Chains A and B, each alone.
Chain A
């Protein structure tokens, strides 16, 4: 009887498992993944070399994975990226062939426009050089630690995550090119994101528009500090500031350097809209229009090195700019010197008492009118014809009318003391 009962029980169990095998398999697979999810969320990659201050404002999405998860992700990326690289390099070759041999219609115009742009930028650079030098001197005085970008690695975007909820891109450079997690990624336009995970030949770039991304920023004109974050919809927002009438649409937002990832002063974007955040009262949702077009990234720069001192090439550029600025200043001074009317009585004009005039060759210029070809007395030769002194000076002779400061308003012209003509 017992054997029959046991056999019946087994048959019942077998039939139960056979009958419900489909939902049981589904439940088992889902349950395993839920447990795996719980373990991953509980243990983000603590072994990674991530600054504590940077970790404070990030969550599991931006932190590197744990060892086991990292291994799984490495396998996936290793399986996928060779295909992506092959497709990407093929498309680059096709586009290169088109660009180099076919699409050369407006090259000359572009060349001329670029030359003009370079000339304009040189002038701008020279004008900014003095301000920059003054800024550096003040920073030294304040013992402020500025981090300059010393080295970058150019990388090309070869793929995306393929998910609208994950704003991640794949780059064609990896650890063998010197890339490491938490390195800042920029374009000439502005900040793009940071390196999240690195593989031997590829790396994962987390865009600032991702909901797990964050960066310390400062509003350029009001100097208000905030944290810029991505949202699930791919927008970039500052959501930790309360309403402030000084914050205006269109204001430039730059990195503050406080997150120890992005160097200070890199453009992030401009304020696109300001509205109360219904989910986080009393804070406002300040939407940022990113300076870099995050939807159309082809090539990016990974910042691989920063320094507290200006890098040699940049220092050389700054010196050149300063020299250009000095040359421009000297040229401006020379022109000003050739225009005697610009000097007031208080100015120490060349040739005035105690300040002998100096010629272009550095030698003093004589006050003797006979020794000058042209120009006013006391000024270096301008090459312009100099009028001879009047034999019979009258009220029309230059210098006979007193300056306006000595005239009495309303007094008749006869009472005004005529000035003695200048003796020459």
Chain B
């Protein structure tokens, strides 16, 4: 008879990563995000750093780690734009927190759940960016374009599935 223990889902599915992977994976995502649209302009609608943020947050299942990871990735992205520091930092920090919190409740290894999670959080990030630009920075020219955001979220889902599969190989069970 198999032994069973009263271990929580958090303890069961909590993963860690090698420090090299923790640093290099987001860095490669940001690099690709900066370089690919030069050759393929339509790839600008895909947000690879967002996918990395979601992946690390749901794998670690720690809201604090998710918030810090998302914030750092977002701030790094802000450094490459002409926006003030903090726009992407706030958005991705919140996304990391929410992703890690959802990771407690659902099985994030399920492909359907992953698609739903990435789609929802992509839309949430778009909404957060609109709120930050429109209300915090007072940029009235910034518009929320639902169709564009839906397409971006769908594209993120398409890219996220193989990317999660690749990154899963680097997970270490804590």
Contact = CB atoms under 8 A, between A and B. Distances in A.
10 contacts: A23-B63, A26-B63, A26-B93, A29-B68, A36-B85, A80-B80, A160-B37, A161-B82, A162-B80, A211-B141
Interface in A1-49: 21-23, 25-26, 29-30, 33-34, 36-38, 40-41
Interface stretch (B8-16, B71-79, B110-118, B161-169): B71-79
Interface in B78-105: 79-90, 93-94, 97, 101
A84 B86 contact: no
A165 B83 CA distance: 9
A260 interface: no
A160 B44 contact: yes
Interface in A73-89: 73, 75-77, 80, 83-84, 87-88
Contacts of A69: 84-85
B82 A34 contact: no
Contact of A160 (B35, B63, B97): B35
Between A76, A77, A170, the greatest number of chain B beta carbons within 10 A of the residue's beta carbon is seen for: A76
B171 interface: no
B45 A168 contact: no
Q: Is chain B's binding surface mostly helix, strand, loop or mixed?
A: helix
Interface of B: 30-31, 33-35, 37-38, 41, 44-45, 49, 63-64, 67-68, 71, 76-77, 79-90, 93-94, 97, 101, 129, 132-133, 136-139, 141-143, 145, 148, 152
Interface string A209-244: 011100000000000000000011100000000000
A375 interface: no
B83 A166 contact: yes
Contact of B41 (A77, A197, A296): A296
Contacts of A424: none
B137 A83 contact: no
Interface string A142-173: 00000000000000011111111110111000
Given A30-B94, A159-B38, A204 B142 contact: no
Between B44, B81, B89, the greatest number of chain A beta carbons within 10 A of the residue's beta carbon is seen for: B81
B85 A160 contact: no
A231 B142 CA distance: 8
Given A40-B86, A76-B76, 18 more contacts: A25-B63, A25-B68, A29-B93, A30-B90, A33-B71, A33-B86, A37-B84, A87-B35, A161-B81, A162-B44, A163-B83, A163-B88, A164-B45, A170-B80, A206-B82, A212-B82, A232-B142, A296-B41
B24 to A, nearest CB: 11
Contacts of A73: 79, 85
A157 B152 CA distance: 25
A37 B79 contact: no
Contacts of B97: 22, 26
Given A87-B35, A233-B145, A161 B84 contact: no
A196 interface: yes
Between A40, A162, A204, the greatest number of chain B beta carbons within 10 A of the residue's beta carbon is seen for: A162
B80 A163 contact: yes
Contact of A162 (B34, B94, B136, B143): B34
A207 to B, nearest CB: 10
Interface of A: 21-23, 25-26, 29-30, 33-34, 36-38, 40-41, 60-62, 69, 72-73, 75-77, 80, 83-84, 87-88, 157-166, 168-170, 196-197, 204, 206, 210-212, 231-233, 295-296
A33 B89 contact: yes
A160 B67 contact: no
Nearest to B80: A161
Nearest to A210: B82
A23 B132 CA distance: 19
Between B76, B80, B136, the greatest number of chain A beta carbons within 10 A of the residue's beta carbon is seen for: B80
Nearest to A64: B82
B87 A168 contact: no
B82 A61 contact: yes
Given A211-B139, A211-B142, A40 B80 contact: no
Contacts of B86: 33-34, 36-37, 40
Given A26-B94, A204-B82, A164 B87 contact: no
A30 B131 CA distance: 14
A58 to B, nearest CB: 11
A22 B64 contact: yes
B81 to A, nearest CB: 4
Nearest to B41: A295
